Copies of this chain bind each other. A is one copy, B any other.
């Protein structure tokens, strides 16, 4: 088995994100300005580490969802810009803390911030960015929007704790996996889309966009979890096997374990324990996931959520913004092929 870079999907993401960025280029410039200026601190390690995580965070997916949701149902305002920046501040704060909790040395193939600066600054700069997010949210002048982001943040933390607890569970139910994904990824996508609408005066469409965001987040994370094992082909995007090495139980594993033999289950139980994992285990894990059809089944599950996301958009007025949100749902799934 050879694992080649997932260049096609990467190019597809760049192309879609480019189009999304073009759609809202003026707004995005305002958001980038906020991201740069509000990370400022006289304590140099804070902007240094912030700059690293912000550039590593990459494609600004969540702020784009906020901005495009706003345009799809109303008029983006300075409040929308502050909100979109706050969403990215929260996202990067959780990335910093996740890296410490996950014990992963790399993020998207680059050294994680904590690998360079250490765990302690990563925890504290995460706290700093999280607090700054709420300063920015004050600028939306909406206690309702602020409350939704605070609630999303509690749900993310709950999801992460739940994921920790799940790592000790060999036989994780699919429902528990989905609840974790909905909390740790779906909640912020949901809040990003919903509050984007609220910030633009599109309150009537906010519930539909909340549904869109939640299901998009589920599809996105499930595909991410499939890509950790190379998706349905041997082509890979991010460093394969991060979840595996950490002993995280994700959908491809749940399905492969359920469909496998007793011998397979014994393999999963041993290999997903970092203490007893061997170097050759990842290749065998990818083999089992392909052989049992677990990779396809995982992508099928994600497709269902992408379909629900698109379905939620039907009540929105037709516009290039609605089209972009639809394309994003399709794209999320296409990454796995």
Q: Majority SS of interface residues in chain A? A: helix
Which stretch (A142-150, A269-277, A285-293) binds chain B? A142-150
Which residues of A are in contact with B by a Cβ distance under 8 Å? 41-43, 45-46, 94, 97, 100-101, 119-121, 123-125, 127-128, 130-132, 134-135, 138, 141, 143, 146-147, 149-151, 153-154, 156-158, 160-162, 164-165
From B100, B151, B156, B162, give the contact of A43 (CB < 8 A).
B162
Minimum C-beta distance from A82 to chain B (A): 12
From B41, B121, B123, B128, give the contact of A123 (CB < 8 A).
B123
Contact B100 A161 (CB under 8 A): no
From B43, B141, B154, B156, give the contact of A158 (CB < 8 A).
B43
Write 12 A-B pairs (CB below 8 A) sorted by A numbering. A43-B162, A45-B165, A94-B127, A124-B160, A125-B157, A127-B130, A127-B157, A130-B153, A132-B150, A132-B154, A138-B146, A143-B143
Residues of B within 8 A of A146 (CB): 134, 138, 143, 146
Contact B158 A135 (CB under 8 A): no
Minimum C-beta distance from A89 to chain B (A): 11
